[in-house]
Amino acid sequence: MAIRKILLPLTGTAAGEAALATALTIARRWNAHVTALHVRVDSRDVAPLAGEGLSGAMIEEMMSATEKESNDRAHAVRSMFERFVARHDVAVQEAHPGSDHATASFASVTGREEDIVAQQARLADLTVVPHPDAGEDVSSSDALHAVLFDSGRPVLISPQVTPAAIGTRVCLAWNGTAESASSVLAAMPWMQRAEGVAILSADGYQRRGPGAPDLASYLALHAVRAEIVTFKSVGGSVGAGLLDAAANFGCDMLSMGAYSHSRLRQLILGGVTRHVLEHSTLPVMMNR
């Protein structure tokens, strides 16, 4: 299955250009369409604060301030999008079948970001989300987790610095779980075009389920030749070992399942998913 539609939620401009570059790099590879989606805050969301003892005048003032801030942010995001696509000579038009080049469009809607992004992602082949800025907790990304938990579709976390190519050397983080099986399906079209494919496996990462040799045999049925790379933890961290193995392979896209343990456990205690989200410098495609 080809990649034809890419969703890109944009809430700010700090990491937006890197995410746009990542989305456009993917779109050029697949002659796909990028829909840049900005979700504006609904000023009416502050109304429930009236129950906190605030007067009607104070609520009105808060709604006005929220509306102004929302308008200013939407304008900044739209301006950034227009500057970027003009600089990269990308056609701004609606998606249409049979396009032989990358295209892009911008949409701005009002509502709750996590709801709208998850709903729109259900009819996108891939959702690209910006990498958090330095110092920001990646676990707080509403768009990322909305797609992971409520869309049934893959999400790709853009690196802060866009690589020259994406998907030419693909790594699969395999541990035998249902989540990693979903990541294999999402990565299949990429692997069938890739120059090299590696299955990353480790004793401390493997769960109950098929092993790496079973996956290699399965991929061979789909004309994908994959080598098995067995890695070890680095500094006691499986996630660090995984990223180290990916870097040694020259990986420019890592595909993996997310949160095979509960999200709460990973946020509190840490885990492979959290480590990769926080430390990866390459495009990472995740599935649930």
- Measured distance CA(211)–CA(92) in Å, rounded: 45
Residues 6-28 have pLDDT tens digits of 999 987 766 788 898 899 999 98
CB atoms inside a 10 Å sphere around CB 71: 12
The length of the chain is 288
Residue 252: is its pLDDT beyond 60?
yes
Cβ neighbors of 20 (< 8 A, separation 6 or more) are 8, 10, 34, 36, 81, 84, 85
Query: Which pLDDT score is estimated for 206?
Result: 85
- % of the chain surpassing 70 pLDDT: 84
Domain ranges of the chain: 5-43+72-157, 169-287
Which of 37-41, 114-118, 257-261 shows the lowest mean pLDDT across its residues?
257-261
Query: Which pLDDT score is estimated for 266?
Result: 45
Residues 136-168 have pLDDT tens digits of 555 456 778 888 888 999 999 999 888 889 999
CATH number of the domain at 5-43+72-157, please? Answer: 3.40.50.620
Q: Determine if the pTM surpasses 0.85.
A: yes
- Show the CA angle centred on residue 235, arms to residues 249 and 131, nearest 5°: 60
The single-letter DSSP state of residue 151 is T
Residue identified by tokens 């299949």 is 188
Residue 268: is its pLDDT beyond 50?
no
Looking at the structure, give the CATH architecture of the domain made up of residues 169-287: 3-Layer(aba) Sandwich (3.40)
Fold identical between 5-43+72-157 and 169-287? Answer: yes
> If you write DSSP's letter for every residue of 200-240 in order, what string do you get?
EE-TTT--SS--HHHHHHHHHHTT---EEEE---BTTBHHH
Residue 162 has φ and ψ, to the nearest 5°, of -70, 130
- Measured distance CA(201)–CA(275) in Å, rounded: 16
Cβ neighbors of 7 (< 8 A, separation 6 or more) are 35, 37, 117, 120, 121, 124, 126, 127, 128
Residue 54: is its pLDDT beyond 90?
no
Question: Minimal CA–CA distance to 280: which of 163, 113, 121?
Answer: 163
Query: Which pLDDT score is estimated for 164?
Result: 87
Strand runs labelled E in the chain: 5-9, 33-40, 91-92, 103-110, 126-129, 155-157, 169-173, 196-201, 227-230, 253-257, 284-287
